[in-house]
């Protein structure tokens, strides 16, 4: 096993898996966050229909993320979940409510508003909880040996509230640019007007978090301000991408705002990994400390390398089947 570093392969696989989840559930959670602000009930129907065919496939990646972490990096699983105990409950409750809202809203008439609220509330709470997880990861965990020993609300600090709100804004940006891509007419016009403000909010959170993190954590300060000058390419690229997205929104481009927003998320994500590398459970444990036995990593790797391409193929096929604009006519058809 000396020739192949299985742990590194698994960092890449889990990293891609989590990023897939963030992108894919990100835009459909974002649609939920935008829900009450939509210009009309008709627009809400369109918003929900645009994600109805794909959202639960998107959420399956979350289950894979959970099980994959247990398999490849059990320490992350066994520290993050206890440390985020209350946050995980809020995340799951949010996902349950927004999930059933899809099913019930289209069938309920008199009680529709109730499921509108469930969809908005569930999506927002789940997004905030995910953002708080990111903040908690930067913040680090109080561990003794292989166990979390901190308190129930250590994860809830002004910093994690900031990252939580940042992810809510970020998912809303993904949602609004997705709306630009999938709708037309008044709904799209509304999305075009809203998108620059959300982009500004996201960049605002990005700048605050980028300044706050190194000031609060010496480890991060050393990483960014020591000597590796090429790292600064990432913030530079982030600003350039944001400018490009704004320019494309102004030009009323339909696809590039969404693609650009995804690129922004990729850059945030890489920036986060650079900041944290090689720590899986900061401030003490690296990915190699957190890894399971090589035999277990290999046993799962064989299956995953074979099956993930099939799963990706199916996912791509679904998106292809449901390509194009959401129909603006009556009914709830998402195709």
Comparing CB distances to another protein, the nearer of 72 and 138 is 72
Comparing CB distances to another protein, the nearer of 154 and 189 is 154
How far apart are the C-alpha atoms of 221 and 151, rounded to whole Å?
26
What is the 3-state secondary structure of the chain?
Answer: CCCCCHHHHHHHHHHHHHHHHHHHHHHHHHHHHHHHHCCCHHHHHHHHHHHCCCHHHHHHHHHHHHHHHHHHCHHHHHHHHHHCHHHHHHHHHHHHHHHHHHHHHCCCCCCHHHHHHHHHHHHHHHHHHHHHHHHHHHHCCCEECCEECCCCCCCCCHHHHHHHHHHHHHHHHHHHHHHHHHCCHHHHHHHHHHHHHHHHHHHHHHHHHHHHHHHHCHHHHHHHHCCCHHHHHHHHHHHHHHHHHHHHHHCCCCCHHHHHHHHHHHHHHHHHHHHHCCEEECCCEEHHHHCCCHHHHHHHHHHHHHHHHHHHHHHHHHHHHCCCCCCCCCCCCCC
Tokens of 171: 């998912």
Comparing CB distances to another protein, the nearer of 129 and 249 is 129
Comparing CB distances to another protein, the nearer of 118 and 169 is 118
Comparing CB distances to another protein, the nearer of 158 and 303 is 303
Q: How far is the CB of 304 from another protein (least distance, A)?
A: 6
Comparing CB distances to another protein, the nearer of 35 and 102 is 102
Comparing CB distances to another protein, the nearer of 39 and 82 is 82
Q: How far is the CB of 159 from another protein (least distance, A)?
A: 20
Q: How far is the CB of 17 from another protein (least distance, A)?
A: 10
Q: How far is the CB of 171 from another protein (least distance, A)?
A: 19
Q: How far is the CB of 88 from another protein (least distance, A)?
A: 5
Residues 6+ apart with CB under 8 A from 308: 13
Q: How far is the CB of 108 from another protein (least distance, A)?
A: 5
Q: How far is the CB of 44 from another protein (least distance, A)?
A: 13
Comparing CB distances to another protein, the nearer of 66 and 196 is 66
Tokens of 127: 């997004």
Q: How far is the CB of 232 from another protein (least distance, A)?
A: 37
């Amino acid at each position: 096993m000396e020739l192949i570093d299985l742990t590194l392969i698994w960092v890449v696989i889990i990293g891609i898996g989590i990023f897939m989840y963030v992108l894919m559930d990100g835009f459909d959670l974002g649609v939920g966050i935008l829900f009450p602000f939509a210009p009309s009930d008709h627009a809400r129907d369109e918003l929900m229909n645009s994600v109805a065919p794909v959202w639960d496939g998107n959420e399956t990646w979350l289950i894979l993320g959970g099980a994959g972490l247990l398999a490849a990096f059990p320490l992350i699983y066994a520290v993050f979940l206890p440390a985020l105990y209350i946050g995980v409950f809020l995340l799951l409750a949010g996902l349950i409510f927004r999930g059933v809202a899809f099913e019930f809203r289209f069938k309920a008439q008199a009680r529709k508003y109730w499921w509108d609220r469930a969809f908005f509330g569930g999506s927002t709470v789940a997004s905030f909880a995910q953002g708080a997880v990111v903040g908690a990861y930067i913040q680090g965990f109080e561990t003794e040996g292989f166990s979390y020993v901190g308190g129930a609300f250590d994860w809830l600090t002004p910093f994690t509230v900031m990252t939580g709100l940042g992810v809510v804004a970020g998912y809303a940006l993904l949602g609004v640019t997705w709306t630009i891509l999938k709708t037309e007419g008044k709904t799209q016009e509304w999305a075009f007007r809203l998108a620059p403000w959300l982009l500004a909010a996201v960049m605002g959170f990005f700048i605050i978090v980028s300044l706050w993190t190194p000031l609060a954590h010496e480890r991060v300060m050393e990483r960014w301000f020591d000597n590796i000058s090429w790292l600064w390419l990432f913030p530079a690229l982030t600003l350039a991408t944001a400018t490009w997205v704004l320019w494309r929104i102004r030009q009323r481009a339909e696809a590039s705002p969404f693609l650009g927003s995804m690129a922004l998320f990729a850059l945030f994500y890489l920036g986060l990994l650079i900041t944290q590398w090689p720590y899986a459970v900061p401030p003490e444990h690296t990915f190699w400390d957190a890894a399971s036995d090589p035999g277990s990593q290999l046993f799962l790797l064989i299956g995953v390398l074979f099956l993930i391409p099939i799963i990706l193929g199916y996912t791509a096929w679904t998106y292809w089947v449901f390509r194009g604009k959401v129909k603006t006519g009556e009914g709830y058809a998402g195709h």
